[in-house]
Structure formats: C-alpha cells, structure tokens
Amino acid sequence: MKPFTYERPKDVAAAVKAIRTSPGAKFLAGGTNLLDLMKVEIEAPSHLVDIGRLPLANIETTRDGGLRIGAMTTNTQVASDPRVRSLYPVLAQAIVSGGSAQLRNKATTGGNLMQRTRCAYFYDTAKPCNKRQPGSGCAALGGLNRNSAILGASEACIATSPSDMGVALAALDARIETLTAEGVTRSLAVADLHRLPGDTPELETELKTGELITCVVIPAAPTGGQVYRKVRDRASYAGGLVSVAAVGNRVAWGGVALKPWRAEKTEAALAAGVPIPEAVAAELAAAEARGKNGFKIALVGRLTAAALDETFAGRRA
Amino acid sequence: MSSVKDWALPNPVSENRSGLIGKTVDRYEGRLKVTGTAPYAYEVEPPSAPAYGQAVSATIARGRIVSIDTSAAEASPGVKLVWTSRNVPAQAARGERANPRSQRGSNPTMASDAVEFYGQTLAFVAADTLENARAAAALVAVTYETQPATVDFMASLDQAEMPPGEEDTEIGDFGAGFAASPVKLDETYFSPIANHTQMEPCATTAWWDGDKVTVHTSIQMVKGGQHALAETLAIASDKVHLITRYIGGGFGGKGQSYDDLTLAALAARELNQPVKVAYTRQQMFQATIHRPAVQMRVRLGAEPDGRLNAFSIEAITHCARNVPFTEHAANFSRSLYAAPNRLTGHRLVRMDLPGAGPMRAPGEATGMLSLECAMDELAEKLGIDPVELRIRNEPTVDPETGKPFSVRQLVSCMREGAQRFGWERRNPTPGQVREGRWLVGMGMAAGIRGNFLLPAKAGIRITADGTVTLLQGMTDIGTGTYTILAQITAETLGVPLDQVRVELGDSDMPPAPGSGGQFGAATAGSAAFETGMVMRRTLADLAINDPNSPLFGADPTLVTFANGNIALENQSESLASLVARAQPDGVYVEGSISPAADARDWSQHTYGAQFAEVAVDVVTGEVRLRRMFGVFAAGRILNAKTAKSQITGGMIWGIGTALTETNPVDPRYGSFLNQDMAGYLVPSHADIVNVDSIFLDETDDKANPLGIKGVGELGICGTGAAIANAIYNACGVRLRDYPMTPDKVLEGLIAKGL
C-alpha cells in the first residue's frame, strides 16, 4: 500500500474543492471496494477525501411520489427503508442480493455505483489489463473468462459491472445528481453513468474528475410487477453470473456488460406485443460469446423470460 | 511392544467414572479466540520492536531470472534489507539432512535463479512497517527468460506415469471379470484443483537470543517445522525453539513450512531484531500447496442382483515436477466393497505448478467423488435402491487383504441415516418432484476413511496447588485438541476439568506428530492417557511410601483416583495435599504411546453415510442444498460438541467441493485464476441451511487404549457424491465434472429439453 494523506471535509462544497486542489486525490465513502484495491495497489491515491459523514444520508419523498436517496445512505439503510420496500421492491431485492450484511452496512449508494469490476484479471496485478494499465492488453480475452461480458464488450476489455443495485436503478429509470468540481449541479440517467469499454476501458463513467454523486432520484413507481433475479455460484456473498431487473415491461441486466444493461430492444418488442421469448431474443441477437461465457446468453434469456412471466402477472418480488 | 489385547482391558477412560468422556465440553481456548486475545503467530509480541518482511513472488511458471532490479525497493521509505538469490544468506541445499533423524530436510528460499512455479519467492524486503515492506516489494522489477511449462493437466494426461515406488493392485482377473459381467459401468469423473483456504495465512514471528532462534509460526507439525528450519539454517535442532500455540486452520496445507518461516529467521538474524513475515492472501493461493486435480475412470461389473464381479478405479493426478506427491484417490476403495476381481492404481503427471499436497482426507475426498457416483449410476442401471446396492456388496473381511475388520458399522450408518432422513420418500425416477421453479431430489453416498495411531509422548505436571498441566508438542489447528486432551487427562487422573491446564505447540515439550490424517486425537490423546497412567502410579508410590499419607503402606494396585483425590477404600486425600507435602516442587512425569505390534492385523477404518436433498432451479441450473444428514461411526467420541463440529465442518467442506470450489490454471501463465476469497468460493452461511449429523455408539478396542478414532476427515468423505447424486435425482442431469456450477447444470437441462 502506498502512503497517502487523509481529510474529512465538513460539507459537500469543501469535499469537491479538496479533490480539485489535490491531484491524485480520491473520494472515500464506505471503503468496501477502494480500500481492498489500495492494498494491492490497483488504486494508489495520494490523498483521500472522506465523504462518509457528509450530510447526504437521507431518503426523501419527492413531489412526484418518487424518492431522493442521498449518496451516503448505506445499502442496508436503503434496502430496509419501508418506502423502498413497498414502492421499489426490485431495488430492495437487488441490494440485499449483493455483498454480505457487513459490506452492505458500510457500502453507500454512491459508492455502489462507483465500484469497479470484479474481473479476476483486473485484480491480478501481474496480468495485463487495459483498465488497470491502459495499453497493456486484456488477459481475460482468451483467458478463463467464464464471467465476462456478452454485450457491449470490446477487444480492449470484456469485464462486467458488479453492481446489483445499479441494475434495479436502471430498470427504474433512476437518475443521479452530481456536483462538479466547478460547483455545478447536473443530472444524468443511471443507465448513462457508466461507459462501455471501447478503446478506453480505463474511463469508466461519465463523471469528470472531482465530480461527486450527491443523490439518486427515482421517479414514481411504474405500474406492474417488479422482480430482481440473480444467478450466482453460491447462495450468498457472490457476484452474479447474470441478473435481471424486470419492472413491468422494462428490463435491465447485470453481469452481461460493463454497465447495467437496459434491454431496449426487448422492451420495444414487448411494447409491440411480441411474445416474451422472441422479445428477449431480440436483445440477445447482439450478444457475443467469448470463450467460456457463452452459457450466459441462454441463461440471461431464460432468466428474463421467467422474470417477465412474474411481472406480467403483476407480482412483486 | 504392546498388543491390542492390552487396550481392551478396562481403564479410566473406558470406565469414564466422572463422565467427562463423550460429554459436551466447550472449547478450552474458546474464550480467548472469540475475544481476540489468543495470539496467533503473527500477533505474538516479540521482545523488542519488530521489522516486517514481504516476499516477492515469481510471475512465470518456469524459467530463469535474468535480472532483478532492487534499487527502487532499496531506496523506498523504511526499507532495511532487500534480498534476492544473489545476496540471501547461505542455506543448506534443498532436501539436505545434516541430522539423519530430522523429520524434514532443508527448505531453502531463493536458492538459485531457477523459477519452478508461479508464486515462487524471488526476492524479499524487510522494512519498519508492513505497509512500507509491501510498497517496496511492489517496486522489485524482475526480468525472466521463460521456458516451456507444463501447467494444463487435461492437456498433459498423456504424460502420466506410474508414481515412483508404486504399482497397481490387482486381485483376481479384472479384465475377465468385467467382460463377463452382465451389467457394466465405465465412466470417467473429474475433480479440480482445490485450495485449503485457511483463514489465517502462513505467518511467522522470529527473534534470536545468541545462537538460538525462537519462532512463533503457524504449522501443523511442531517437530517438522523445527527440523526443517534447523536443517535450512544448518544449525542444530535444539537451537530452534518453535512455538505454534493457535492455528487459524491448517487442513493439510500447513503440514509443512514455507518461506515465511525461513525468511523471518534469516532476517531477524541479519537485522538483529525480531521480524514478522506473513504470506499475503494472494500468496496463500499461488504459493502454498493445493489439492491436485484428479481424473478417475471407474469400471464396475455386476450381476443382475447387484453383486459386483469386477471393480476398478484408475486415477490420474499431478504433482510439482520436483516434489513427488500422489493423491491416492483409489486407495480407500480397496477396503470398501466386495468384488472378486479388482484393479486399482494411480498415474502421475509432473507439472510446473506449486507443490500438490495433502488436503483434508487426501485420497478419500477426491476418490469418493467418483466411486460413490458410479455406485448411484450402477444402482439405477440395475433398478436397485442405492443403499441396498451397497449393502449387497458389504464384505465380511477386507476385500483385498482378507484381514478382519476391527469394527465396521457402515451398513448401520446407511440404515440409520436412511431411516432418519426419510430416504423412503425418494422417487427413484429422476425429475419427478417439482416445487415451482425448483426440481427436488435426494442422493446418498457411503464414506470410509482410514484410522491411524503414531508414536507420541506427553508430559504431566502436578504442582502443590493441585493444578494438573498436560504438556505436549502437539497442535490444535482449530479442531478441539486442547479440549479433548483436558478431558482425557482429567478423566484419567480423576480430577475435575477445571483443575487441568493444557499447554501445546512448543518444540521443548514432549513430541507428538501434530495434526493431520485424522490421527491427532487418537495419537496425542493416547499419549496423554498413558502419561496419566504413569502419573497415577507415581502418585500411588508417593502416597504409600509417605508415613504422613493416609494411604501409607497400602497396596498400590488398589489405589483409586476420583474427585481430585487419591483414595483407598474410605482413606483419601487430595492430590494437592499429597504433592504439597510429599513433593512440594511438584511431580512431573512423561509417558508415551506406540502402535501395537499386532494393530495392523485388522482392517481399521471410520465409516459414514451421507444423505442430501437439493433443489435445482430449472430456469438457471442453480443448485441449492436443502438439507443434509450424516451418520458416522468413528469409535468412542470424546467430546460431543467438538466432534460434531469437526464432522459437520467436513460435510460443509464437501458441499463446497460439490458445488463451488475450483481453482483453474490459466495455461498462458501457469497461475491460478482465483487468488482471494471473493474468487475462490467456499460455502457461505446461506448455502448451509440444514446440515446435521450423529455418531453411532462405538468403541474400537483395536485402535488405541481409548477406543477412539479420528473424526477430522471422515466428514468430507462421500459428501460431494451424495450431492451429485441428489442433483441427478432432482433433474436427471448426470454430471461427472466437479464442481457442479450453474453453467454445467444448465447445459444438461437444455440438453434434456428443460
């Protein structure tokens, strides 16, 4: 671990300023991902700005009947909030299917969205990884890549996004609000937060240097059932092989791409009255197997069809 | 030498007058562990401020070091020394034994420029803090000349050779018997490389006092570690004081020492300062031993009534090129089922990987994954219930040696388990029980694991306050050894449990072989018992020769020990008062146990039967265990609580074997894919919903004077196969490739049109 300095600013403006004035600085929230990465020097910030105690830990009802969830709410807090559980069961289900109870007690809403891939080759610092070391290559290509992406991948990176929460938020049409380093507030869709790898997998989100997520805003709950289903190798504390969030006839996938993946072709086909299996196949037409992950195509298709059977029946997870 | 006949005589443990034997007793060191006050090797406070060491690992599988640039590391903050093969202090050549009685040879680190496996130590940094050591270690730059490496087991099966000094075992004529059998099975099974995944990594704290080094280290065998370090440093073994008081899991992986021990001792000498060295989690996966992959071909030939005519297991496994080890995945089967024509054996592929080695129930844990599936498959072919098929092949004597069994309750285990589990509710046709999206099924497997007794010693001291202290160079790797030794000592001497202290894990104490091969309790426990008997005779002599004793002049053979007293009829006094008066400095005796001369005249094993119910998600192929029940017969049980914890712990490990545990080698690098516990998946709490076990009443008086046998490894034997069989019964997908992950099950479901 590299030596680093540390501060805990009192307000959001000071936090953003601290990053702006200190090259190599990083925000520290729950630390459940960043500290692990620092121990193996995948992350080596020179300065940590601890935002964990900023006053961003409230959950408020919005005027349109949605929720505004502060970025420093913990995963446990959100998943156990009665409004979340009644209005957005898909979100509560997604959160509790991630990590472990101990991790969820520390991990935050903002941090969850900013967590980095769990690709084994990203974590193995002896291997090439374009995300970790741009231009070094992708060891997962041609490697033991059972858990790599089937959609939106590139020759530079076939990693996946690990977040469960983000998949549910994408299906709920949630947006994040941020404060930029210049002090400007802006808003963008959760589904647009993460970039696909392209030639620059080291650029992971649309956030600019020093930009801080301050909250997530979820619009009023749509009609129809909500289901989150995650397939994993063990019953708890394991990343998903694939997951699906179905909200009415909206579908988002986890474990298939480097971002929560809205299955827009499936949604369009469903809206046009196409039967579920064909609608799911419409999105999967672009899916690409890369070695050992081909099973994911059939798996996410079956999982989605089963989830839509439930949401169309109006069931809530 | 003693005979097993002596062991059958009544003794304080078999009489169990205080009822301490078999009782549920909390862990002796439990409070220390749960309050974080049991110092593990790395946490031991040295006499002065320590330096911290960090090893740098190779990132190729085979080749030579061309250059190592250590300049950046040396200039890094807090760095005290940087070593490579060029400047590491001299050590004895690998395997050298200056003392022929050493149990282990020299195990030098950085001995040459050759790289023999990915993860091998190539450099070492010591610094003032752990963080500075790790940061500096990351700055060491190595350039290699790589050489072709054999790292892909399945692509190297053609290189398999007979292991050195071994031969196949053939009884009758397998080929003819198999050919003539009306019902045949010929299938091949695979189990992958697995890691021990101990919570505590390998770690050492070392310091020198003159020419003598004290090392606190995490190792299963006290003498093995002491001798290995002495040979490596080319010093006498009495110049190494090795202490291993608490061990956060060993499972076979700490049966040997690693570079943390050598480097801590060398660096402490060089720096004239205590040094701590621990492996990182990544090094635990890449640079310690693993359970090797095994491919097993099973051939069974049977009569229509289920009786086996022909029986064969041929196992191919692997080991490191220069470190011979054979995973004996066929050995267990030589004592399991009757069949007149038998062929079993092993083949070995030498590979450029870290050492393959023993992991919990080496041989059985892998081998039973194949045979106990094959028996399930054969049962279906024959239309015979799997329990009944096994009963029909129950031998009356050991099928290969013809020796009688000491005690064999395998059939009772299966019958009791079937009855308690509700086996009769199993539908023999697969895929018939559906609950929503889940297909539900049951499976079972038999289990067998050998039992051993090794030579061991112990010491007991009684001080003037009556405190009884057992001293033994034994280890407790989390199994309950402290606790059962306290129980045996207390029962043998007739003193309350809280009067007994146990001190273990010190090379200055009377030696015991340590923990491994499920021989620990029987071996260390028998030595403790024999030492207790020596103490009884010593105390009796003391009393009858002491004119101030109420037992003065009595017949020593009539003296009894109970309630903390030594007594003859209604005359008695406390041990404390006897010792305080007659030998106020305390009484210390040693005793020992050796295998009986005739112990191997019997075929001696522990047995079990395991029953599993699983649900298979018909959409995703996910397998979730619903319940599991095991019935075991393993001699007299010393402690109902720790024995159950051991045996169900083994079952849980077997569940991991069946469903999640694997560490594939990336053939491009020769490294393991998983190098942390987020990637290498052992069962989580949510996977273990309802796992229970019982022990059958048993005493094995051919095993040792206590009639006990090992329970540390039996629990994993057969577990994985029971789950594989339950998966098949649930959904009709027969997998022969462990672990049975959703992708594999899903492929089978799709192939069946599900």
Token pair recorded at residue A8: 């805990």
Return phi, psi of residue B360, to 5°: 0, 110
Residue B236 has what pLDDT?
A: 98
Distance CA B664, CA B178 (A): 35
Task: Report which of B535, B450, B515 is spatially closest to residue B714, judged by C-alpha positions.
Answer: B450
Digit-coded pLDDT (tens) for B48-104: 999 999 999 999 999 999 999 999 999 999 999 999 999 999 999 999 999 999 999
Please name which of A116, A207, A100 lies closest in space to residue A161, comparing C-alpha atoms. A116
In terms of Cα–Cα distance, which of B327, B298, B351 is closest to B154?
A: B351
**C-alpha distance across the termini of chain B, in Å:** 64
Q: Residue A1: is its pLDDT beyond 90?
A: no
Of B70, B76, B61, the C-alpha closest to B120 is B61
**Mean pLDDT score of chain B, rounded to an integer?**
97
The phi-psi region of residue B518 (left if phi > 0; otherwise alpha if psi is between -120 and 50; otherwise beta) is: left
Among B residues 370-409, those touching chain A with beta carbons less than 8 Å apart: none
Cβ distance A298 to B741 less than 8 Å, yes or no, reads: no
Q: Between the CA of residue B521 and those of A112, A131, B482, B707, B716, what are the distances in Å?
A: 48, 51, 10, 11, 18
Q: Nearest-CA distance from A134 to chain B in Å?
A: 19
Task: Give the list of residues 6+ apart from residue A291 with CB closer than 8 angstroms, or none.
Answer: A141, A142, A143, A145, A148
Could you give the strand order of the β-sheet that contains A212-218, starting from the edge strand earlier in sequence?
A59-61, A67-70, A212-218, A175-179, A185-189
Query: Is B624 an interface residue toward A (CB < 8 Å)?
Result: yes
Scanning every residue of chain A, which has its alpha carbon at the shortest distance from the alpha carbon of B664?
A144
pLDDT band for position B1 (cuts 50, 70, 90): low
Measure Cα distances from B111 to B85, B90, B91, B262 in Å: 6, 9, 8, 12
| B residues 77-106 closer than 8 Å to A (CB) | 77
Q: What is the mean pLDDT of residues B623-632?
A: 98
Q: Which residue of A has its CA nearest to B748?
A: A295
Given an 8 Å threshold on Cβ–Cβ distance, is A231 in contact with B674? Answer: no
Point out which residues pair with A251 in neighbouring strands: A246
CATH of domain B4-34+454-594: 3.30.365.10
Give B733→chain A minimum CA distance, Å.
16
The 10 Å CB-count burial string (b at 16+, else e) for A232-257 is bbbbbbbbbbbbbbbbbbbbbbbbbb
Q: Using a CB-CB distance cutoff of 8 angstroms, which residues of chain B are in contact with residue A304?
A: none
Give the span between the Cα atoms of A222 and A294, in whole angstroms. Answer: 33
CA distance B480 to B342: 39
Which positions in chain A touch B621 (Cβ < 8 Å)? Answer: 231, 299
Predicted TM-score (pTM) of this structure: 0.97
A144 at interface of B, judged by CB pairs closer than 8 A = yes
Which of B131, B678, B746 is facing A298, going by the closest CB pair? Answer: B746
Nearest of A100, A145, A85, A98 to residue A121 by alpha carbon = A145
The partner residue sitting opposite B686, judged by closest CB among A2, A235, A306, is A235
Rounded Cα gap, residues A270 and A250, in angstroms:
9
- Measured between beta carbons, which residues in chain A are less than 8 angstroms from residue B77? 3
Structure tokens at A290: 């890369």
Contact between chains at A126 and B671 (C-beta distance less than 8 A): yes
| B627 touches A: beta carbon within 8 Å | no
What are the residues whose beta carbons fall under 8 Å from the beta carbon of A133, sequence distance 6 or more?
none
Cβ separation of A237 and B686 shorter than 8 Å? yes
In this predicted model, what pLDDT tens digit does every residue of B143-190 receive, in sequence order?
A: 999 999 999 999 999 999 999 999 999 999 999 999 999 999 999 999
Say yes or no for a CB contact (<8 Å) between A120 and B743. no
Pairwise CB contact (< 8 Å): B659 & A118: no
Average pLDDT rounded to a whole number, residues B395-415: 97
CB contact under 8 Å between B750 and A298, yes or no, is yes
Distance (Å, whole) CA A277 – CA A287: 15
Residue of B77, B659, B674 with shortest CB distance to A234: B659
Confidence category of residue B260, pLDDT binned at 50, 70, 90: very high
- Token pair recorded at residue A87: 């209005």
User: Which residues are paired to B628 by β-bridges?
Assistant: B612, B691
How far apart (Å, rounded) are the C-alpha atoms in residues B54 and B440?
A: 50
pLDDT tens for B323-344 read: 999 999 999 999 999 999 999 9
Distance CA B337, CA B332 (A): 10
Determine how β-strand B560-562 pairs with β-strand B63-69.
unpaired
Asked if residue B395 lies in contact with residue B338, where contact means CB atoms within 8 angstroms, the answer is yes
Q: Is B686 on the interface with A (CB under 8 A)?
A: yes
Catalytic residues of B: 713
Whether residue A232 and residue B622 make contact (CB cut-off 8 A), yes or no, is yes
**Nearest-10 Cα torsion for B5, B7, B10, B13:** -170
Q: Does A313 touch chain B (CB under 8 A)?
A: no
pLDDT band at A317 (very low <50, low <70, confident <90, very high): very low
Judged by CB atoms closer than 8 Å, whether chains meet at B138 and A126 is answered as no
ipTM for this prediction: 0.97
pLDDT at A269: 96
Chain B closest CA to A152's CA: distance in Å?
Answer: 21
The verdict on A303 touching B (C-beta cutoff 8 Å) is yes
Contact A115, A165 (CB under 8 A): no
Helix (H) or strand (E) holding A166: helix A165-171
Q: Given this structure, which CATH class describes domain B395-452+600-751?
A: alpha beta
Using the structure block, give the residue that is written with the tokens 């003032």. Answer: B128
Check pLDDT > 70 for residue B591: yes
Interval B494-531: pLDDT, tens: 999 999 999 999 999 999 999 999 999 999 999 999 99
Which residue ranges make up each domain of chain B?
A: 4-34+454-594, 395-452+600-751
What residues form DSSP beta bridges with B642? none
Choose from B122, B624, B743, B754 for mutation: most chain A CBs within 10 A: B743
Peptide bond before residue B739 is cis, with ω within 30 degrees of 0: yes
Q: What is the DSSP code string of B258-295?
A: -HHHHHHHHHHHHHTS-EEEE--HHHHHHHS-BBPPEE
Question: B743 vs A1: CB contact, 8 Å cut-off?
Answer: no
Q: Who contacts B661 (Cβ-Cβ below 8 Å, separation ≥6)?
A: B192, B194, B195, B680, B681, B682, B739
Evaluate whether B469 touches B501 at the Cβ level (below 8 Å): yes
